[in-house]
A and B are shown apart, each in its own frame.
Chain A
Amino acid sequence: MLEITEGSHAVAEAVRLCRPQVVSAYPITPQTHIVEALADMVADGKLDADYMTVESEFSALSACLGASAAGSRVYSATTSQGLALMFEVCFNVAGMRLPIVMTIANRALGAPLSIWNDQQDSIALRDSGWLQFYAEDNQEATDLHYIAYRVAENPKILLPAMVCFDGFILSHTYEPVDMISQEDADKYLPKFAPKERLDAADPISFGMYATPDYYLEFRYNTDKALKDAKSVIQAAGAEFKQMFGRDYSAMVEGYRMDDAETVIVAMGSICGTIKDTIDDLRAEGMRVGLLKIRVFRPFPSDEVAQALKCAKRVAVLDKNISLGAKGAVALEVKDAIYSSGIPVYDYIIGLGGRDVQKKDIREVVTLAGKGQGNIFVGLRKEVL
Chain B
Amino acid sequence: MALAVGCRARPGKGRDNKTGSWRVFKPVFDHEMCSKCGTCQTICPEGCITVDAEGFFDPDYAYCKGCGMCAEECPKKAITMIQEEK
Binary B-proximity of A289-305 (CB < 8 A = 1, otherwise 0):
00000000000000000
In the bound complex, residues from chain A placing their C-beta under 8 Å from that of B18 are 211, 213
Given known A214-B3, A217-B3, A218-B3, contact A205–B9 (CB-CB < 8 A): yes
How big is the B interface, by class? 10 to 19
Given known A203-B11, A214-B1, contact A158–B6 (CB-CB < 8 A): yes
Given known A209-B17, A211-B17, A211-B19, contact A97–B5 (CB-CB < 8 A): yes
Distance A298 CA – B52 CA, assembled complex (angstroms): 55
Chain B CB within 10 Å, residue with most, of A96, A97, A208: A208
Distance A217 CA – B1 CA, assembled complex (angstroms): 12
B86 within 8 A of A: no
A204 within 8 A of B: yes
In the bound complex, residues from chain B placing their C-beta under 8 Å from that of A228 are none
Q: Is the CB of B7 within 8 A of A196?
A: no
Chain A CB within 10 Å, residue with most, of B5, B6, B9, B19: B6
In the bound complex, residues from chain B placing their C-beta under 8 Å from that of A213 are 18, 21
A interface residues, how many (CB within 8 angstroms) = 21
A207 within 8 A of B: yes
Binary B-proximity of A332-349 (CB < 8 A = 1, otherwise 0):
000000000000000000
A225 vs chain B, min Cβ distance (A): 8
Given known A203-B11, A214-B1, contact A95–B19 (CB-CB < 8 A): no
Q: Is the CB of B1 within 8 A of A205?
A: no
Q: Is the CB of B8 within 8 A of A208?
A: yes
In the bound complex, residues from chain B placing their C-beta under 8 Å from that of A95 are 6-7
- Per the 8 Å Cβ criterion, residues 56-107 of A in contact with B are 95-98
- Per the 8 Å Cβ criterion, residues 178-222 of A in contact with B are 196, 203-214, 217-218, 221
- Per the 8 Å Cβ criterion, residues 204-251 of A in contact with B are 204-214, 217-218, 221
- Per the 8 Å Cβ criterion, residues 1-57 of B in contact with A are 1, 3, 5-11, 13-14, 17-19, 21
B40 vs chain A, min Cβ distance (A): 24
Partner of A221, one of B1, B5, B9, B21: B5
In the bound complex, residues from chain B placing their C-beta under 8 Å from that of A96 are 6-8
In the bound complex, residues from chain B placing their C-beta under 8 Å from that of A204 are 8-10
Given known A211-B17, A212-B21, A213-B21, contact A206–B10 (CB-CB < 8 A): no
In the bound complex, residues from chain B placing their C-beta under 8 Å from that of A206 are 6-8
Q: Which residue of A lies closest to B19 (CB)?
A: A211
A71 vs chain B, min Cβ distance (A): 13
In the bound complex, residues from chain B placing their C-beta under 8 Å from that of A208 are 7-9, 13-14
Distance A355 CA – B83 CA, assembled complex (angstroms): 65
Q: Is the CB of B7 within 8 A of A218?
A: yes
Distance A211 CA – B3 CA, assembled complex (angstroms): 12
Given known A212-B21, A214-B3, contact A203–B8 (CB-CB < 8 A): no
In order of increasing CB-CB distance, the 8 nearest A-B pairs are A97-B6, A96-B6, A208-B9, A208-B7, A211-B17, A205-B9, A207-B7, A97-B5
A-B contact pairs, 10 of them (CB 8 A): A97-B5, A158-B5, A203-B11, A205-B11, A206-B8, A208-B7, A208-B8, A210-B17, A211-B21, A221-B5
Interface residues in chain A, defined as those with a beta carbon under 8 Å from any beta carbon in chain B: 95-98, 158, 196, 203-214, 217-218, 221
Given A97-B5, A158-B5, A206-B7, 19 extra CB contacts under 8 A:
A95-B7, A196-B5, A203-B10, A204-B8, A205-B10, A205-B13, A206-B8, A207-B8, A208-B7, A208-B14, A211-B18, A211-B19, A212-B21, A213-B21, A214-B3, A217-B3, A218-B3, A218-B7, A221-B3
